[in-house]
Amino acid sequence: MNSVLHWLRRQRQHLLGPTREVPETLWQTNLSHYPFLIALTLQEQAILRHLSTHFLSEKEFHGANGQQVTDAAALAVATQACLPLVHWSRGEKAPSRPHTLDWYDDFVGIILYPGAIRARRHYRDATGLVHEYSETIAGEAMQQGPVVLSWPDVQQASDTVAAGHNLVIHEFVHKLDMCDGQADGVPPLPRGFLGTRDPRTARRTWLAHLQVAFDRFREQINLAERFGGPPVWLNTYGTQSLTEFFAVTCEAYFVNRDRFTEDFGDLVLLFDAFFKHRSALMA
């Protein structure tokens, strides 16, 4: 983690004074809107509220193309962004700033759009020629940069639970993945992950499990599309790469664990070993 950026965050928080807790009415309204948050235990909800309070004090929300950023909108993003961090924050004392938020220290800005986002892209082909194009996206997490989100997609999170879809979790899992400097589907893993002795072995273990599930998922989609096999319920965008597969499966893991377990029981064990233990950055 960038130590200078880390220090600047602390100085900003000190100058702004004590962090104010999310008001009770606003908090309860937000919880009631998302079934995967209501399903948390009271202790987990308390941890999430503490995380979200400090997250809101550190991040800067901006509306693009006329989008208004209300307190409710900012809290909706904060709670979903912090959900993957809940178990890592057990034992951290309130009201101090949770060290777990260090995972999100590489950026400040969160930009909400009133609809789909047109993103400019470019790539260099084998001859060195640069091609430019644009594509429509619902969100994006940029290395050392902001997170952009389509607000209508954020709002629909309560309606897409059955499909295991959650835009905010998807983009913020990418941020976790990027903490080691690259987005490759392998986040920084804690020491001794699944009984491994060193980081290299931990990485190989993670990739072995993820790759098997990824290949199986692609085969299921192939059978469904070409031979009339059972349709898959998970977002097929996960076939793009291991990076996207990690983000897509994490969405379902957090918002519809029961359904996810039916098809990805092996990944539930892998993700439990990661998300339900102390964070790698804190180890």
What confidence tier does 257 reach under pLDDT thresholds 50, 70, 90?
Answer: very high
Q: What is the pLDDT at residue 5?
A: 46
Average predicted confidence (pLDDT) for the chain: 89
Residue 118: which residues within 8 A CB-CB, separation 6 or more?
134, 135, 136
Q: What is the pLDDT at residue 96?
A: 83
Which of 42-56, 249-263, 269-283 is predicted with the least confidence, judged by mean pLDDT? 269-283
Q: What is the pLDDT at residue 7?
A: 47
> Where does residue 281 fall: left (phi above 0), alpha (psi -120 to 50 degrees), or beta otherwise?
alpha
Contact criterion met (CB below 8 Å) for 39 and 46:
no
Which of 18-27, 38-47, 53-62 is predicted with the least confidence, judged by mean pLDDT? 18-27
For residue 274, the one-letter residue type is F
| Mean pLDDT value across residues 199-213 | 96
Rounded to 5 degrees, what angle do the CA atoms 211, 260, 89 make?
A: 90
Radius of gyration of the chain (CA): 19
16 has a pLDDT exceeding 50: no
What confidence tier does 124 reach under pLDDT thresholds 50, 70, 90?
Answer: confident
Helix spans in the chain (H): 3-16, 24-33, 35-38, 42-58, 71-82, 151-155, 167-177, 199-227, 242-255, 257-275
Q: Model confidence over 128-186: pLDDT tens digits? A: 777 676 788 899 999 999 999 999 999 999 999 999 999 999 999 999 999 999 999 99
Q: What is the pLDDT at residue 122?
A: 65
Strand partners, 141: 147
Q: What is the pLDDT at residue 11?
A: 47
Which of 3-12, 57-66, 175-184, 233-242 is predicted with the least confidence, judged by mean pLDDT? 3-12
All domains in the chain, ordered by first residue: 3-275 (1.10.472.150)
Q: Model confidence over 209-239: pLDDT tens digits? A: 999 999 999 999 999 989 888 889 999 999 9
Q: How far is CA 10 from the centre of its chain?
A: 23
63 has a pLDDT exceeding 80: yes
Share of the chain above pLDDT 90, in %: 75
| Mean pLDDT value across residues 74-99 | 90
Q: Model confidence over 71-81: pLDDT tens digits? A: 999 999 999 99
Q: Per-residue DSSP letters for 113-141? A: ESS-EEEEEEEE-TTS-EEEEEEEESEEE
Q: What is the pLDDT at residue 227?
A: 86
Q: What is the pLDDT at residue 135?
A: 83
State in Å, rounded, how far the first CA of the chain is from the last one: 13
